[in-house]
Amino acid sequence: MSITYENNEHAGIVNSFCQDFGVGFEKVAKIYSPDADGNCGYRAISMAIYGNQNSWKEVKEQILKTYKKYKDTLYANQVEDSDIFEKSLSCNLSPCPIQYLFNITDCPQIAADAFVRGIAVFSKASFNGKPFKTSSFFAPLAFEPTNYTVINILLDHNHFYLIETARTKTGRPVKFPIPILNPYHKAFVKRNPTLCARDYSIVF
């Protein structure tokens, strides 16, 4: 099993990712590093959905459209400042202002709903000089996914990467260990029984 790296730095990132989050090295096929212009989170999603990083504006557009559709139902009282959040999704500047970066609390859930895909977010940072690691899984809320391949993104010290899983001999993508489900997921489903006919987190 060989892994494709864009440069030697990525080899170290994959090694630490596998060690930090308990992912077998053989399960990783490739790591993609999008442009570091502040839109790297959206670019990583674009790579997974469209096969290239250049459709990041379309990603933001779809997330904004989904947020506006459900902001008074699924996402009611969830986003801290709705106006700023909408401005961040409407901003197509590159480089992007720091206040408009892809966050790992609201954006992954709405992206999961916008593209009807499961999204796993692995995050690694430093806090008071010590490493801080988190991981969460975001499942679509309103619609059953037609593609069960999870999008795996890694936030490593303020930069997002897309992690592509290896495939079996029959061509099926292998699975990483699923992180802990978004802690708000069950509450979203319970609070919106009309929109959330099923709990789709169980299908992954």
What's CA 11's distance to the chain center, in Å?
A: 21
CB 138 within 8 A of CB 182: yes
Please tell me the predicted confidence (pLDDT) of residue 115.
98
Q: Dihedrals φ, ψ of 22, to 5°?
A: 65, 35
Q: Give the DSSP per-residue string, 172-196.
A: PBP-PPP--B-TTHHHHHHH-TTT-
- Give residue 9's pLDDT: 62
Instruction: Tell me what pLDDT residue 6 has.
Output: 55
pLDDT (0 to 100) of residue 4: 53
pLDDT at 2: 44
Residue 5 has a pLDDT of 52
Distance CA 165, CA 82 (A): 34
pLDDT at residue 49, as a whole number:
98
CATH topology of domain 8-203: Cathepsin B; Chain A (3.90.70)
DSSP, residue by residue, 51-66:
SSSTTHHHHHHHHHHH
Kindly report, residue by residue over 118-174, the tens digit of the pLDDT.
999 999 987 777 888 999 999 999 999 989 999 999 999 899 999 999 999 999 999
Residues of the chain with pLDDT under 50: 1-3
pTM: 0.92
